[in-house]
Amino acid sequence: MTTYGSFPGTRPRRLRTSPVMRRMVAETRLHPADFILPAFVREGVSEPVPISSMPGVVQHTRDSLKKAAAEAVAAGISGIMLFGVPEESKKDGVGTAGTDPDGILQVALRDVRAEVGDDLLVMSDLCLDEFTDHGHCGVLDDQGRVDNDATLERYAEMAQVQADAGAHVVGPSGMMDGQIGVIRDALDQIGRDDVAILAYTAKYASAFYGPFREAVGSSLQGDRRTYQQDPANLRESMRELELDLEEGADMVMVKPAGPYLDVLAKVADAVDVPVVAYQISGEYAMIEAAAERGWIDRDKAILESLTGIRRAGARSILTYWATEVAQTLR
């Protein structure tokens, strides 16, 4: 005789029975507009240069960068974040090429704005590390330490030059104290209150940046632990968040994304400004390397990683798969 009531009355599995059911009840969705494409442009090359540790990613020429920007528009993504890679001979102790109106980053900004106009948010990395011969994000003092306040003066000049070159958004990534306030003042002083600031609010001293060092031809000596955040700390990020908002940040970022989803969720719960996450080079490289060896399903792993970042609270995601995934979603 059948005994009724001996089985569960509530069956969550009923909402997982088919692809269309799962799609209907999905709590988190990816959309092309969620994505921002980080892109590298290298001075003095005639062909794109593959980045060995980031399969599928290149250091662009000026022409190939314009093509990538046009493809990003067609795919429906929201932005492109530009990183300049100058010739080695142009690096110096204060990152002069980073504020030269004819430096590679400023030239690339003008190129991309001319190509896409306002159809794509043109964003600019605002940092000195690509342009210094020591590879640090700021000016060094006579003891070899990063001088916070001297660096802020350089950042102010960079912000103005990048705005003049066409940046819609500047992304100060150097983790100097007070950088958002100084940059906001510098932009306002030249009448560029229309340029937004994407604050790298919680940027950790991560081991996952390795492939990025190759991508930008880094000359780093030592490490950046005296200014980037300690991976062990969360409350420190919330303090940085409060300060950045007080200084005028329009958007805030958590970087890296995947290993810091708890930080991302905490930040997203605390603010009413857009929250951005950067899925960095090491995260990209791990998935590509595992997929190359046949250990994981590449496409499913990419979408799962991005869905997790979105679910944790990111409104926008910087990812090297931005255009590819957007094309798939469309």
Question: Which is it for strands 169-172 and 196-203: parallel, antiparallel or unpaired?
Answer: parallel
Range 256-260 contact pairs with CB under 8 angstroms and sequence separation of 24 or more: 256/204, 256/206, 256/208, 256/209, 256/280, 256/282, 256/283, 257/283, 257/309, 257/314, 257/317, 258/283, 258/305, 258/308, 258/309, 259/206, 259/208, 259/231, 259/283, 260/202, 260/204, 260/231
DSSP E strands in 71-139: the ranges are 79-85, 121-126
Tokens coding 193: 């209150």
Q: Is 255 a catalytic residue?
A: yes
Q: Is 203 a catalytic residue?
A: yes
Question: From the candidates 67, 90, 91, 203, which is the catalytic residue?
Answer: 203
Q: Tell me the Ramachandran region of residue 231: left when phi exceeds 0, alpha when psi lies from -120 to 50, beta otherwise.
A: alpha
The Cα 33–Cα 23 span in angstroms is 19
Chain center to CA of 279: 7
Question: From the candidates 66, 90, 91, 255, which is the catalytic residue?
Answer: 255
Residues taking part in catalysis = 203, 255
